[in-house]
């Protein structure tokens, strides 16, 4: 990881997930358009309830408060950035995404909700830069899995944080081992079609950079939460079969049916992976990290 750029195959990964228009995700995801794991607090929890529960727990684990300067890296369709802006009206939220369509969606939603405390930036993570000490909190939900050089990115983030700032990371992980999704491996179907350049972090990976960040606290959701999320996405995709089919034809042309099946397999594979061994092998990891002063090993604040 040390010798790679922060992010690789950026355009490939962007096209794989966002070549389809926003309407597809409105039909498949929950009402918050949260394209990451939900948190199901009970057997009867709905996708909408799981989205809200996950957002609320993220806010708590990140230690967010009103008046903070908050940066979200990999903001997606804006579920967390918009939630933070609504929850903390005196906070200043900066959202970074690599997708122009996502930026347009978040800006439209902020305008619709009367939110004046959200700024959206479209940028490749290799090129993102801010002045030192610009933020009290940096948060990221299911973006670090797309990053190839965590050390380089964490080094930048440490500089962007205020002296008493914190970094919060939500990633899917394996309980023991980290591995890359290898596009060169023709048997790696996920890498071929949906996750080029991505990695599966281990639960312990975020604590492997003690010269940059100290683990202040960590939490883990078992994989069944993601399994249920993917099943709910698939259920909604199938329920909206006619309109999804039209979107597939407009997007993929003669390959529409191939790609409809690929999206279904993607959701099924996600559910199967995270549901394996009753969610004990793969799951969701949350970390709150304290920056370390450069060159000293001491805490910043």
In a domain, 46, yes or no: yes
End-to-end Cα separation, the chain, in angstroms: 28
DSSP designation for 143: -
- pLDDT tens track for 214-248: 999 999 999 999 999 999 999 999 999 999 999 99
In a domain, 219, yes or no: yes
Residue 301 lies inside a defined structural domain of this protein: no
143 closest CA partner among 292, 6, 281, 3? 6
Q: Is residue 91 part of a domain?
A: yes
* In-domain check, residue 298: no
Is 300 within the bounds of a domain?
no
User: Is pLDDT larger for residue 195 or for residue 241?
Assistant: 241
Q: How far is CA 237 from CA 232, 245, 264, 276, in A?
A: 9, 10, 8, 23
Residue 83 in tokens: 């939630």
If one counts the domains in the chain, the total is 1
Residue 229 sits in a domain whose CATH number is 3.40.50.150
Average pLDDT over residues 182-188: 60
User: Which residues are registered as beta bridge partners of 92?
Assistant: 69
Residue 257 to residues 62, 198, 234, 247, 261: CA-CA distances in angstroms?
41, 26, 16, 11, 6
Is residue 223 assigned to a domain? yes
Q: Mean pLDDT throughout 147-158?
A: 96
Give the integer Cα–Cα distance in Å for 262 and 16: 11
CA 54, CA 182: separation in Å to the nearest integer? 30
Confidence tier at 160 by pLDDT (50, 70, 90): very high
Q: Per the domain annotation, does 45 fall within a domain?
A: yes
pLDDT for position 190: 74
**Residues of the domain holding 230:** 10-291
For residue range 44-99, what is the model confidence (pLDDT) as tens digits?
999 999 999 999 999 999 999 999 999 999 999 999 999 999 999 999 999 999 99
């Amino acid at each position: 990881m040390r010798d790679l750029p922060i992010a690789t195959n950026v355009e490939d990964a962007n096209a794989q997930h966002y070549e389809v228009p926003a309407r597809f995700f409105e039909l498949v995801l929950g009402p918050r358009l949260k394209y990451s794991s939900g948190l199901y607090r009970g057997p009867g929890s709905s996708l909408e309830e799981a989205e809200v529960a996950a957002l609320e727990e993220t806010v708590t684990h990140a230690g967010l408060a009103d008046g903070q300067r908050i940066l979200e890296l990999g903001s997606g369709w804006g579920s967390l950035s918009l939630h933070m802006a609504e929850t903390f009206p005196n906070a200043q939220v900066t959202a970074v995404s690599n997708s122009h369509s996502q930026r347009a969606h978040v800006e439209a939603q902020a305008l619709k909700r009367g939110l004046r405390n959200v700024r959206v930036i479209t940028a490749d993570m290799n090129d993102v830069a801010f002045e030192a000490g610009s933020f009290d909190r940096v948060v990221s939900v299911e973006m670090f899995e797309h990053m190839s050089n965590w050390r380089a990115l964490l080094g930048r983030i440490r500089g962007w944080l205020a002296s008493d700032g914190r970094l919060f990371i939500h990633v899917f992980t394996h309980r023991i081992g980290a591995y890359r999704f290898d596009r060169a491996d023709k048997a790696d179907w996920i890498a071929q079609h949906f996750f080029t350049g991505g990695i599966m972090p281990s639960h312990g990976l975020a604590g492997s950079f003690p010269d940059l960040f100290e683990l202040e606290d960590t939490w883990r959701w078992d994989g069944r939460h993601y399994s249920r999320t993917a099943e709910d996405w698939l259920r909604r995709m199938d329920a909206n079969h006619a309109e999804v089919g039209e979107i597939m034809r407009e997007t993929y042309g003669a390959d529409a049916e191939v790609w409809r099946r690929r999206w279904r397999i993607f959701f099924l594979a996600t559910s199967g992976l995270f549901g394996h061994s009753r969610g004990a092998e793969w799951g969701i990891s949350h970390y709150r990290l304290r920056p370390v002063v450069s060159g000293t090993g001491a805490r910043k604040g």
